[in-house]
A and B are shown apart, each in its own frame.
Chain A
């Protein structure tokens, strides 16, 4: 069991993050993230950059496009960017400014033509 990484509120990172494991950012991060694990923008965190991870949780502010299996925007969290995910959860009080792209299987009857 690997320890969960943590970037505290006073820490500023400018650059790229990649690797595996869990990471919580309560500080500021400017740059892309590629993580084979859970990436969390903490309540005091501010992240600017595209995020690709197994799962993404937004409790603070995230600006950038997100690609993950699971995306969860918690109450108080704000995501500015497009989301591509299998599952997206938006809690009451969370904000998402952007498009969501999930794999939607529509019934046959609704296929073809315009809405």
Chain B
């Protein structure tokens, strides 16, 4: 068994990742990820870019599409803005997700031609799947169904604004019903979510320039020496 690759927390990579082998992200990646293996974005991990893997598991934040040859799993702690495409997609209750669910093979011809380098489908437009599971026979994937129904009907505070989040009150508004309201236990468990506005928007902690950049304390090397040499 090959040792999985791991980008640690505190390390940021800006560029393209590809190759084979499992890849676990605790740090930050800005750019496309194309791996023949399992890709896991852990809780501290952030990826801004499309991710393709044999399987893609998100526990942290993803802004971009996820394509899984086998499966895509969006875990309870995940925040995802992007479409999920895989033959098996699992969204665990508690996850915050905005995007399309395309539960089919990446090789499905109705999706158009999949371009693995661009992580997009060209040719035939990808259909919007609104209710992909209601018409399915329950014998199909029972476990799936349970998870999905949990995801689709989360209990919400009654005073919560509608899904069109643009009209939602600003962060500072005292009148905004906090997510920690007792009537929303599944979402309120994580303290990190308490301060977020009560919208369906997935809040991504996008890395900014204000992030503390490390500075390497280096003595001035060789300067005096060079001067001496020049004499």
Question: Which B residues are CB-close (under 8 A) to A18?
Answer: 11-12, 213-214
Which chain B residues border A102 with CB–CB below 8 Å? 221-222
**Contact yes or no, A21 B16, CB < 8 A:** no
Does B142 belong to the interface (CB within 8 Å)?
no
Taking the complex as formed, is A67 at the interface, i.e. its CB lies under 8 A from any CB of chain B?
yes
Q: Is the CB of B4 within 8 A of A69?
A: no
CA distance A7 to B21 in the complex (A): 10
Stretch at the interface among A57-65, A73-81, A90-98, A103-111: A103-111
Dominant SS at the A interface? strand
**Please, which residues of chain A bring their CB within 8 A of the CB of B2?**
8-10
Tell me whether A10 and B19 are in contact in the complex, defined as CB-CB below 8 angstroms, given that A19-B27, A104-B225 are known contacts. yes
The residue from A15, A22, A35, A69 contacting B15, defined by CB atoms under 8 A apart:
A15
Contact A84–B221 (Cβ < 8 Å): yes
Contact, CB under 8 Å: A19 / B17: no
Residues of B participating in the A interface, judged by any CB pair closer than 8 Å: 2-23, 26-28, 31, 35-37, 213-216, 218-219, 221-222, 224-225, 228, 231
Chain A residues in the interface with B (C-beta under 8 A): 2-23, 27, 31, 34-36, 52-54, 67, 69, 84-86, 101-106, 111-113
